[in-house]
Every structure is written in structure tokens, then in C-alpha cells.
Amino acid sequence: MAGDVDQVLPAYQQEHDIDMMVMGAYGHSRIRQLLVGSTTTAMIGSARVPLLILR
């Protein structure tokens, strides 16, 4: 699926009736996070089901 991860994955989750999402996360420098953003942070904000984050 093409698009922004934080928009595409929740749509996929709803379409397929997925009860929980799991994703991996790793740290970035503060400068990179300010310039690029954080997929993990965006997913936390957009998730409508429990989100388990593994680090």
C-alpha cells in the first residue's frame, strides 16, 4: 500500500478488523526527529486499537 504509514496502517487495520497492532521502534537523534518526524509518534496518535511498541 502506498501512502503515509500513520494513515495507511490504521486504514488497513479497520478494513481487515485487526484488534491489535505491533510495531518496532528505535531511537533517533533529537535533530533528526525534529527534521523528519517520528513514525512511532504519529502511529501512537492515530491508532484506534491497542498498539504494542517493541524496542
Range 25-47 average pLDDT? 75
Burial 14-51 (b: 16+ CB within 10 A, else e): eeeeeeebeeeeeeeeeeeeeeeeeebeebeebbeeeb
Measuring CA to CA, which residue among 8, 19, 16 is closest to residue 46? 8
- What pLDDT digit, counting tens, does each position of 37-55 carry? 678 888 888 888 999 988 7
**Is the pTM above the cut of 0.75?**
no
User: Residue 12 has what pLDDT?
Assistant: 92
User: Residue 48 has what pLDDT?
Assistant: 86
Cell 486499537 appears where? 49
Residue spans of the domains in the chain: they are: 5-54
pLDDT at residue 29 greater than cutoff 90: no
pLDDT at residue 17 greater than cutoff 90: yes
